[in-house]
Amino acid sequence: MKKFLTILLTCATLGGYCQQETASVAISNDSKLTISKHIYGQFAEHLGHGVYGGFWVDKTLPVKKEGRIRLDVVDALKKIKIPNLRWPGGCFADEYHWRDGIGPSALRPRMVNTNWGGTTEDNSFGTHEFLELCKLLNTEPYVAGNVGSGTVDEMSKWIEYLNSNSSSSVAQLRKTNGHPEPYKVTFWGVGNESWGCGGNMTPEYYADLFKRYASFAKDYPGARLKKIASGPNSDDYNWTEVCMKNIPNWMMWGISLHYYTVPTGNWGHKGSATKFDEKEYFTTMVNCLKMEELVNKHSAIMDKYDPEKKVALVVDEWGVWTDAEPGTNPGFLYQQNSMRDALIAGTTLNIFNNHCDRVKMAALAQTVNVLQSLILTDKDKMLLTPTYHIFDLYKVHQDAKFLPIKLNTPEYKVDGKEIPAVNASASQDVAGRIHISFVNLDPNNSISVSTSFKNIKWTTATGQALTSANLTDINTFQKPNNIHITGFNGIKKDGDKLTVDLPSKSVVVIELQ
């Protein structure tokens, strides 16, 4: 079988003249680790127009639908092979009672979504609708159970409803509601943000509560649960310490971590999604790169109690969080998506890839119309964001063999502070193709990357690129393809080495064979 080599490169700039600097990368082929496809997961909460108006639309909307599920959105997500979808929250999960979302839609009770805008939730999108969506997407469901306002019995019965093939009244109820066979859902979150909107608990209290809820979260034939504990907020290392110390490793498949890139670092005024200068861009990327520190430090704590790395670090909420777009409901968290956001996505995914020994699952917040979305919709209109294109390019890493790299990079400096201009990760898929993803964060200089390989040969190269005139550029419903993937030819071969001249503000994918 022929060996193929694909290189994935990402760079960015705010525009203007670019000088060229140099970086070097050495790639070895001696790892036994795998980059889990579940790192590329997504998140859909009952928030704003994420579910209602995003996935689940009015019957009269003139778009192709399966029931009320919007199929152009489904088709776009299938293209990038999203591996899992987290639902129903988020903060909404700990006020959601699953029995309200089953049975005839007209008979389902209404509730007020107290966390997100005080809107009325009619529960027309419930358990069956979510799992039908996952079936259409060919993705695994990741359900977040209600620990904050729910009961142990409620969670236990939801799992039985989903996964049991017995003759119990709960399993029979699922059959009566139109699904004779069990769904066999395996990813299960035991609460969400229990340190905050999920109950404002202490880690000691939550660890005991987790053990209680998890004890009654039963396995059923063909559906062994992967129970995920509600982990720390950002740099709350004590939360991780207490949970890892007090919860037996065998009891949890993973522990979550939530961290958002806030451009200004100020939650009261987070910054605009589209209007920012170079100084704010630099601060944004400093905050983005903090993910590396968080993963390293939380992993080190986990290593103390789990040296064999059996418990996954699950970063199931991440992404850039800006101020809501002017004129929109601030509780709906609707924000535009720029080239800057594409760099945040590429950088963060590189960090996860490089820590695939511990990071085995993640979820971008969120999939449609909320925060750092892959897709934006407006009635019958739909567009793909720059972040979507990053996931399209990076899908080559899913379930591929991790390849360690050695990177030498220039620094990007602003006001006497500096960050690495380039970050990268690499993998080899089952067909023998090698993929390397580089991110150039320097907005003023192009960077020539010299890449050397060990025990890898290639003869020809082709490439693709994602670029735009400015980091503040976006796709709009009037110009939905303003930022899109195009061809690329800035590739040079020198013996068995590869040189790629990374233009500013671009994502470049190169395939060598």
* Contact yes or no for 335/291 (Cβ under 8 A): no
Q: What angle do CA 352, 355, 357 make, to 5 degrees?
A: 125
Instruction: Assign 3-state DSSP to the chain and report helix, strand, coil percentages, each to 5.
Output: 25, 30, 40
DSSP helix/strand/coil, 17:
coil
The structure tokens listed for 389 are 């294109």
E strand or H helix at 349, and its extent?
helix 339-354
Which residues sit opposite 376 in a β-bridge?
383
With 0-12 / 13-18 / 19 or more C-beta atoms within 10 angstroms meaning exposed / middle / buried, residue 430 is exposed
- Rounded CA-CA distance 368/57 in Å is 12
Q: Is the dihedral of CA 49, 130, 41, 144 positive or negative?
A: positive
Q: What distances in angstroms separate CA 438 from CA 49, 63, 102, 318, 388, one per listed residue?
A: 33, 37, 46, 20, 17
Task: Quote the tokens at residue 89.
Answer: 């929250």
Q: At 321, is the secondary structure helix, strand, or coil?
A: coil
Query: For residue 241, which of 272, 213, 204, 273 has the smallest C-alpha distance?
Result: 204
H helix runs in 105-249, sequence order: 127-137, 152-163, 169-176, 203-215, 237-246
Identify the residue whose tokens are 């979150």: 189
Residue 81's CB is within 10 A of a number of other CB atoms, namely 17
Choosing from 129, 193, 292, 511, the catalytic residue is 193
Q: Are the CB atoms for 366 and 321 separated by under 8 Å? A: no
Using CA atoms, how far apart are residues 479 and 386, in angstroms rounded to an integer? 13
Q: How many CB atoms lie within 10 A of CB 380?
A: 11
Q: How far is CA 377 from CA 55, 171, 231, 369, 484, in A?
A: 10, 37, 32, 7, 17
Identify whether 193 is a catalytic site residue.
yes
Contact 38, 360 (CB under 8 A): yes
* DSSP annotation string for 69-138: EEHHHHHHHHHTT--EEEES-SGGGGG--GGGGSS-GGGSPPEEETTTTTEEE---S-HHHHHHHHHHHT
DSSP state of 428: E
| Amino acid of residue 322 | T
Q: Is 308 a catalytic residue?
A: no
What residues act catalytically? 193, 317
